């Protein structure tokens, strides 16, 4: 079923805004998506009806808040195909989720152990495992990226060995849009008794995810990229592994018994949620996954694919534009990174902003990937459920104008004087 973007847009009043005199064209969804009324209404309801701390209280408001917060874990579990709330830890974001895993597993690593990540990892994963390796003496190895933007699976098979303790991969690259063969990678890790950690920041918002079928040991994601609020994300972990993993943060709520000398931990998932959690944000995350469930994740995937293929086809047709990642017709998500010859990504982004169009330019927290591509940065346009071909056409108009402006400038006397 096709998504009806026009009616979806009614749920997102921010899209009616004008920016610099133009209607807002929001194409920065891989960084953060907008939040529908069904999600932000949760905040008003929470703070006007049942704002209270969770878990500890006997009073009515605390009871209601606890129920709603705990049920939000159930909804996220169902959304990702987890067995139940015990397998879903609420965190701040993907970054915190990966840190939680890395600190827990990192305590078990020694010199001689290997951690395998990829050249396309986000800094959230790359930097974290780098630090864990430095502390534990383990070595990090990286699966290379091929020139057409895929993981080199042949090298991956050589890199993952019985010395590998952890394989940590992005499900979807936030620059290339590549959808990695994550089931194969998880199998590869398990064949060598290594843990498989999947960074799902760009996949959970954009396609159906079934962590059970994927068989990943851990899967990290952020709420603000899937129509939820900022300040909340999550970590799926297999129950038996989470049972065994040391907590990352300590304090109230995560304990069962405390003496002056010792403490024992609460049941899952609360063992990993120390202190007062972001309660309204957590409940709103539950509303966000409900919203996406109602749209249907298969429909979300198809809608993104349609727009991304259109954008990619149009960009590839322009000989002054270079695009990165899988080409037209190949599987990818709704983000396209590119460069316009002679125009710095920040200048393009600024020209677009003058016309109310939001994209992102820079290294997108993937400096090693940009080094691999031998470019200092890229511009990235990314769509979501409320975007239409009109949004893409507006972007293309400015890309063409940017190139024309540059040509005019190069032909101008000012430029001539400058270079002569």
Kindly state the helix (H) or strand (E) to which residue 357 belongs, with its residue range: strand 357-358
Residues near ligand PMP (CB under 6 A), total = 13
Minimum separation from the CB atom of position 205 to ligand PMP (A): 10
- In 163-309, at which residue ranges do the beta strands (DSSP E only) sit? 164-170, 195-199, 218-222, 233-237, 255-258, 263-265
Distance of CA 252 to the CA centre of its chain: 29
Residues 223-252 that bind ligand PMP (CB under 6 A): 233
Closest among 206, 123, 195, 132 to 171, alpha carbons compared:
206
Per DSSP, the three-state class of 207 is coil
378 near ligand PMP, judged by CB under 6 A: no
Minimum separation from the CB atom of position 137 to ligand PMP (A): 26
The answer to whether 324 and 364 are in contact (CB under 8 A) is no
Question: How many residues appear in the chain?
Answer: 420
337 near ligand PMP, judged by CB under 6 A: no
The CA distance from 54 to 353, in Å, is: 42
Closer to ligand PMP by CB, 122 or 403: give it: 122
User: Number of H helices and number of E strands within the chain?
Assistant: 15, 17
174 near ligand PMP, judged by CB under 6 A: yes
201 near ligand PMP, judged by CB under 6 A: yes
Closer to ligand PMP by CB, 95 or 339: give it: 95
Minimum separation from the CB atom of position 201 to ligand PMP (A): 3
The answer to whether 119 and 143 are in contact (CB under 8 A) is yes
Minimum separation from the CB atom of position 382 to ligand PMP (A): 10
Q: Which of 365, 368, 388, 389 binds ligand PMP (CB under 6 A)?
A: 365
Closer to ligand PMP by CB, 66 or 202: give it: 202
The CA distance from 253 to 56, in Å, is: 8
Q: Which of 66, 94, 118, 168 binds ligand PMP (CB under 6 A)?
A: 94
Closer to ligand PMP by CB, 35 or 95: give it: 95
Per DSSP, the three-state class of 28 is strand
391 near ligand PMP, judged by CB under 6 A: no
Q: Which of 25, 164, 222, 305 binds ligand PMP (CB under 6 A)?
A: 222
The CA distance from 220 to 237, in Å, is: 9
- In 43-192, at which residue ranges do the beta strands (DSSP E only) sit? 88-91, 114-118, 139-143, 164-170
The answer to whether 27 and 387 are in contact (CB under 8 A) is yes
Closer to ligand PMP by CB, 201 or 343: give it: 201
124 near ligand PMP, judged by CB under 6 A: yes
93 near ligand PMP, judged by CB under 6 A: yes
Per DSSP, the three-state class of 179 is strand
25 near ligand PMP, judged by CB under 6 A: no
Minimum separation from the CB atom of position 337 to ligand PMP (A): 12
User: What would you report as the CA-atom Rg of the chain, rounded to the nearest whole angstrom?
Assistant: 23
Q: Which residues have a catalytic role annotated?
A: 365
Closer to ligand PMP by CB, 89 or 201: give it: 201
Q: Cβ contacts of residue 391 below 8 Å, gap of 6+?
A: 25, 26, 27, 307, 383
Residues 53-82 that bind ligand PMP (CB under 6 A): none
Minimum separation from the CB atom of position 42 to ligand PMP (A): 19
The answer to whether 184 and 134 are in contact (CB under 8 A) is no
The answer to whether 224 and 32 are in contact (CB under 8 A) is yes
Q: Which of 170, 269, 277, 325 binds ligand PMP (CB under 6 A)?
A: 170
Closer to ligand PMP by CB, 238 or 380: give it: 380
The CA distance from 141 to 130, in Å, is: 10
Q: Which of 33, 95, 117, 178 binds ligand PMP (CB under 6 A)?
A: 95
| Token duo for residue 359 | 């994209």
Minimum separation from the CB atom of position 122 to ligand PMP (A): 3
The answer to whether 233 and 220 are in contact (CB under 8 A) is yes
Q: Which of 117, 178, 202, 339 binds ligand PMP (CB under 6 A)?
A: 202
Backbone dihedral region for residue 17 (phi beyond 0: left; psi -120 to 50: alpha; all else: beta): beta
382 near ligand PMP, judged by CB under 6 A: no
Minimum separation from the CB atom of position 352 to ligand PMP (A): 19
Closer to ligand PMP by CB, 3 or 98: give it: 98
Site of interaction with ligand PMP (CB under 6 A): 93-95, 122, 124, 170, 174, 199, 201-202, 222, 233, 365
């Amino acid at each position: 079923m096709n998504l009806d973007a026009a009616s979806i847009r009614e749920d997102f009043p921010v899209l009616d805004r004008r920016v610099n005199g133009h209607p807002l064209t929001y194409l920065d969804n891989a960084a953060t998506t907008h939040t529908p009324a069904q999600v932000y209404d949760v905040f008003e309801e929470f703070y006007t009806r049942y704002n209270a701390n969770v878990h500890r209280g006997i009073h009515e408001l605390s009871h209601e808040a606890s129920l709603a917060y705990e049920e939000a874990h159930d909804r996220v579990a169902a959304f990702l195909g987890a067995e139940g709330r015990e397998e879903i830890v609420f965190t701040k974001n993907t970054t915190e989720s990966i840190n939680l895993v890395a600190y827990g597993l990192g305590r078990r690593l020694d010199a001689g152990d290997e951690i395998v990540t990829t050249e396309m990892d986000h800094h959230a994963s790359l930097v974290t495992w780098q630090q864990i390796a430095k502390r534990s003496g383990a070595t990090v190895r990286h699966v290379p990226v091929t020139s057409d933007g895929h993981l080199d699976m042949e090298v991956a098979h050589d890199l993952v060995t019985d010395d590998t303790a952890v394989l940590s991969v992005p499900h979807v690259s936030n620059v290339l849009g590549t959808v990695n063969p994550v089931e194969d990678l998880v199998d590869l890790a398990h064949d060598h008794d290594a843990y498989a950690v999947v960074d799902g920041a760009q996949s959970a918002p954009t396609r159906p995810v079934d962590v059970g079928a994927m068989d990943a040991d851990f899967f990290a994601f952020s709420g603000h990229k899937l129509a939820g609020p900022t300040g909340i994300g999550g970590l799926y972990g297999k129950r038996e592994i989470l049972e065994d993993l040391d907590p990352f943060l300590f304090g109230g709520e995560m304990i069962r018994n405390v003496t002056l000398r010792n403490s024992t931990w609460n049941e899952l998932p609360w063992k990993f949620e120390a202190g007062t959690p972001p309660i309204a944000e957590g409940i709103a995350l539950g509303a966000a996954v409900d919203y996406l469930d109602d749209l249907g994740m298969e429909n979300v995937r198809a809608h993104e694919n349609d727009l991304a293929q259109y954008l990619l086809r149009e960009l590839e047709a322009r000989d002054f534009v270079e695009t990165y990642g899988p080409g037209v017709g190949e599987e990818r998500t709704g983000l396209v990174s590119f460069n316009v010859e002679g125009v710095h990504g920040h200048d393009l982004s600024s020209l677009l902003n003058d016309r109310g169009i939001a994209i992102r330019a820079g290294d997108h927290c993937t400096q090693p990937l940009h080094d691999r591509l031998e470019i200092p940065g890229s511009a990235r346009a990314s769509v979501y459920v409320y975007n239409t071909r009109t949004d893409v056409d507006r972007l293309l108009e400015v890309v063409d104008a940017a190139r024309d402006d540059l040509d005019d400038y190069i032909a101008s006397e000012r430029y001539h004087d400058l270079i002569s």
